[in-house]
C-alpha cells in the first residue's frame, strides 16, 4: 500500500488508476516519497483489469524535484535508488502511464515524467533538469531526455539547466499535448483512447512497444547512477552546490576558489 504522501485512486470504473503525489509544498521527491511512488505504480500495474495509469500531483506544482538536502554522503545513495526504482517502474509499466503536469516539473520531478508513455502539460508549466546549476547532473534525466527531444536540445538543457514552458515542451516533443487542465485532459485521453480496448491487448502492446527502449534506457541509467554516486557526488563542487542552495547564496566553485 502506498504511503500518505502518494495515493492511488480507481478511475473509469476500475479500468484505470490515478497515482497522485501528495507530498506537501512542491511535492519534493525524497527517498520516502520516491519509494512510495514506486510501490503505488507497481501495485497499479499488477491489476490485470486496468488499461492505464494517470500520474498527477496535488497543488499548483507537479514537483520541485528530488530532495536537495538528501544529496549528501549517506543519503544520496538511498535517494538515488528509490528515485531510480520509480523511474524504472514506469519504464517497465505493463500499461501506459499518462503524466499530467502543471507548474514546476524540475529535476527528479521531470525524471519520473520522462519515461511516461504520454505527457500532457499546462501551457505555463516549467519543465527542466537544473542539476548542473547545483554542481551535479541528473542520471535518469541524462539517459531519458534525448529519447524525447533529440540530442541537440537535450544537451542544451542538461549542460545549462534550461527550463522549457509547457508550450515549448510540446513543440520540442517533451510534452505530447498541452491543456489548461492537464488532469482532466489526461483522464479524457485515457477514456477515449484506452478504456474501450482489451486490457490484455493493451498490456501486450505496451510490453512490445517498450522492449528495446526500456532495456537501453535501464542500462544507461545504471551506468550514470554509478558515475553520479562514485564520481560526481565526491567532488567539492557537488557538496558546495547543495550547501549554497540550502544557504540561499551564490555557489563558490572549487576552480574559482583555487584561483583567488
Taking alpha carbons only, the member of 47, 38, 157 closest to residue 87 is: 38
User: What mean pLDDT do residues 101-113 have?
Assistant: 98
pLDDT at 2 over 50: no
Question: How confident is the model at residue 4, as a pLDDT?
Answer: 86
Question: How confident is the model at residue 156, as a pLDDT?
Answer: 98
Write down the residue that cell numbers 488508476 correspond to. Answer: 17
Give residue-wise pLDDT tens across range 118-169: 999 999 999 999 999 999 999 999 999 999 999 999 999 999 999 999 999 9
- φ/ψ (deg, to 5) at 57: -150, 150
Q: Three-state DSSP class for 190? A: helix
| Buried-state track 124-142, b at ≥16 Cβ within 10 A, e below 16 | ebbbbbbbbebbbbbbbbb
User: What mean pLDDT do residues 50-55 have?
Assistant: 98
Q: Are strands 97-101 and 16-21 parallel, antiparallel or unpaired?
A: unpaired
Q: How does residue 256 score in pLDDT terms, banded at 50, 70 and 90?
A: low
User: What mean pLDDT do residues 211-226 have?
Assistant: 97
Q: What angle do CA 170, 113, 136 make, to 5 degrees?
A: 105
The reported pTM is: 0.94
pLDDT at 255 over 90: no
pLDDT at 94 over 70: yes
Determine the Cα–Cα distance for residues 70 and 84; give it in Å rounded to an integer.
15
Q: How does residue 258 score in pLDDT terms, banded at 50, 70 and 90?
A: low
Question: How confident is the model at residue 191, as a pLDDT?
Answer: 98
Give residue-wise pLDDT tens across range 8-41: 999 999 999 999 999 999 999 999 999 999 999 9
Q: What angle do CA 214, 108, 62 make, to 5 degrees?
A: 110
pLDDT at 86 over 50: yes
Is residue 103 within 8 A of residue 163, CB to CB? The reply is no
Domains of the chain, by residue range, sit at: 1-181+200-260
Give whole-number Cα distances, 34 to 41, 82, 205, 247, in Å.
11, 5, 27, 25
Taking alpha carbons only, the member of 159, 122, 124 closest to residue 138 is: 159
Question: How confident is the model at residue 259, as a pLDDT?
Answer: 55
CATH assignment, 1-181+200-260 = 3.90.226.10
Q: How far is Cα of residue 159 from the mean position of the Cα atoms in its chain?
A: 18
| Assigned C-alpha cell, 152 | 541537440
DSSP 5-60: TEEEEEEGGGTEEEEEE--SGGG-B-HHHHHHHHHHHHHHHT-TT--EEEEEESSS
User: What mean pLDDT do residues 45-70 have?
Assistant: 97
Taking alpha carbons only, the member of 119, 85, 114, 87 closest to residue 102 is: 119
- What's the chain's average pLDDT? 96
Question: How confident is the model at residue 29, as a pLDDT?
Answer: 98
Amino acid at each position: 500500500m502506498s504511503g500518505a504522501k502518494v495515493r492511488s485512486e480507481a478511475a473509469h470504473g476500475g479500468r484505470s488508476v490515478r497515482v497522485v503525489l501528495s507530498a506537501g509544498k512542491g511535492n519534493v521527491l525524497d527517498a520516502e516519497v520516491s519509494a512510495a511512488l514506486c510501490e503505488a505504480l507497481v501495485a497499479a500495474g499488477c491489476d490485470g483489469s486496468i488499461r492505464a495509469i494517470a500520474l498527477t500531483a496535488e497543488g499548483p506544482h507537479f514537483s520541485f524535484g528530488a530532495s536537495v538536502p538528501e544529496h549528501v554522503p549517506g543519503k544520496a545513495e538511498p535517494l538515488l535508488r528509490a528515485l531510480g526504482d520509480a523511474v524504472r517502474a514506469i519504464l517497465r509499466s505493463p500499461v501506459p502511464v499518462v503524466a499530467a503536469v502543471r507548474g514546476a516539473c524540475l529535476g527528479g520531478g521531470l525524471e519520473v515524467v520522462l519515461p511516461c508513455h504520454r505527457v500532457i502539460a499546462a501551457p505555463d508549466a516549467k519543465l527542466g533538469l537544473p542539476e548542473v546549476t547545483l554542481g551535479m547532473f541528473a542520471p535518469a534525466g541524462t539517459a531519458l531526455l534525448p529519447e524525447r527531444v533529440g540530442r541537440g536540445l537535450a544537451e542544451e538543457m542538461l549542460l545549462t539547466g534550461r527550463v522549457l514552458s509547457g508550450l515549448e515542451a510540446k513543440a520540442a516533443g517533451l510534452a505530447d499535448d498541452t491543456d489548461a487542465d492537464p488532469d482532466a485532459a489526461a483522464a479524457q485521453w485515457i477514456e477515449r483512447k484506452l478504456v474501450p480496448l482489451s486490457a490484455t491487448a493493451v498490456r501486450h502492446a505496451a510490453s512490445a512497444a517498450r522492449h528495446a527502449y526500456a532495456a537501453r534506457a535501464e542500462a544507461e541509467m545504471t551506468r550514470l547512477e554509478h558515475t553520479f554516486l562514485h564520481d560526481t557526488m565526491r567532488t567539492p563542487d557537488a557538496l558546495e552546490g547543495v550547501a549554497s542552495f540550502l544557504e540561499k547564496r551564490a555557489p563558490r566553485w572549487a576552480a574559482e576558489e583555487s584561483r583567488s
